[in-house]
Amino acid sequence: ETGVTQSPTHLIKTRGQQVTLRCSSQSGHNTVSWYQQALGQGPQFIFQYYREEENGRGNFPPRFSGLQFPNYSSELNVNALELDDSALYLCASSLVGGPRGGYTFGSGTRLTVV
Amino acid sequence: SQKIEQNSEALNIQEGKTATLTCNYTNYSPAYLQWYRQDPGRGPVFLLLIRENEKEKRKERLKVTFDTTLKQSLFHITASQPADSATYLCALDIKAAGNKLTFGGGTRVLVKP
């Protein structure tokens, strides 16, 4: 059973640029959620994708967008990067309709905006 | 306003002792409460889940209690080991919010040999 894989592991971008982060969900999981974790804080929910549709969104502006593909992998896109977007971006997969259990997180992408 | 609070101060504990972490929340009606472990530079790892109608859950050296009246969960690590050193996060799975986790800020635990 494979876990959640995220790429890239680290990224440095300039303010105003756009970035795409990628996530491969755990085998058998059909839902992907994205979280932003600033240094020293808990993860904050960005949004969730199920059946290729957004299925819930946290308090993040529209410049944060995403996609889910038929194989359940997902992308997080952030436009017009700001310095405050510097954080660890975490992808988590789960199974809708399955037992309510823990989420499987990837190791994250560390994004630095300069 | 809705809040999830964990002790932001690091917990330093001697090997072999029991570490007890607290998670308090306000203005939520969680269906489930989860605990995760996070090591530096890594994603959270699921440890335990407890349902709103359960009082206590155990897994090996870990024990979680859940008091929906006090709006509090306690997380215990018994016979702590240096390998238990990490940040521990509590997360609420809110009834009205679908499959979304709301996390506390985490408590760092340092177990000294």
Question: Mind listing the pLDDT tens digit of every residue in chain A (114 residues)?
Answer: 568 999 999 999 999 999 999 999 888 888 899 999 999 999 999 999 988 999 889 999 999 999 999 988 999 999 999 999 999 999 999 877 555 667 899 999 999 999
Q: How much is the pLDDT for B97?
A: 60
Phi then psi dihedrals of residue B56, to 5 deg: -150, 145
Q: How much is the pLDDT for B8?
A: 81
Whether a cis peptide bond, with omega within 30° of 0, leads into A8 is: yes
Contact between B96 and B29 (Cβ < 8 Å): yes
Q: How much is the pLDDT for A1?
A: 54
Per-position pLDDT tens, chain B of length 113: 678 999 888 999 999 999 999 999 988 877 789 999 999 989 999 999 998 889 999 999 999 999 989 999 999 999 999 999 999 999 998 766 666 889 999 999 999 99
The verdict on A42 touching B (C-beta cutoff 8 Å) is yes
**Closest chain A residue by Cα to residue B103:** A42
- Minimal Cβ distance to B102: which of A31, A45, A96: A45
Closest CA to A112 of A9, A1, A5, A2: A9
Question: d(Cα B60, Cα B12) in Å, to the nearest integer?
Answer: 21
Answer yes or no: do B46 and A102 touch at CB < 8 A.
yes
Segment B14-29, tens digit of pLDDT: 999 999 999 999 888 7
Q: How much is the pLDDT for B31?
A: 77
Phi then psi dihedrals of residue A60, to 5 deg: -125, 145
Contact between A59 and A11 (Cβ < 8 Å): no
Answer yes or no: do B44 and A105 touch at CB < 8 A.
yes
Contact between A52 and B5 (Cβ < 8 Å): no
CA atoms within 13 A on the CB side of A81: 21
Question: d(Cα B56, Cα B32) in Å, to the nearest integer?
Answer: 12
- Minimal Cβ distance to B43: which of A41, A94, A105: A105
Q: How much is the pLDDT for A94?
A: 85
- 3-state DSSP assignment of residue B99: coil
- By a Cβ cutoff of 8 Å, what residues of chain B touch chain A? 4, 6, 31-32, 34, 36, 41-47, 49, 89, 91, 93, 97-106
Written as one letter, the residue type at B23 is C
Closest CA to B90 of B106, B72, B76: B106
Question: d(Cα A25, Cα A13) in Å, to the nearest integer?
Answer: 25
Question: d(Cα A30, Cα A73) in Å, to the nearest integer?
Answer: 9
| Chain A residues close to B49, C-beta within 8 Å | 100-102
**Closest chain A residue by Cα to residue B88:** A42
**Closest chain A residue by Cα to residue B93:** A100
Q: How much is the pLDDT for B52?
A: 87
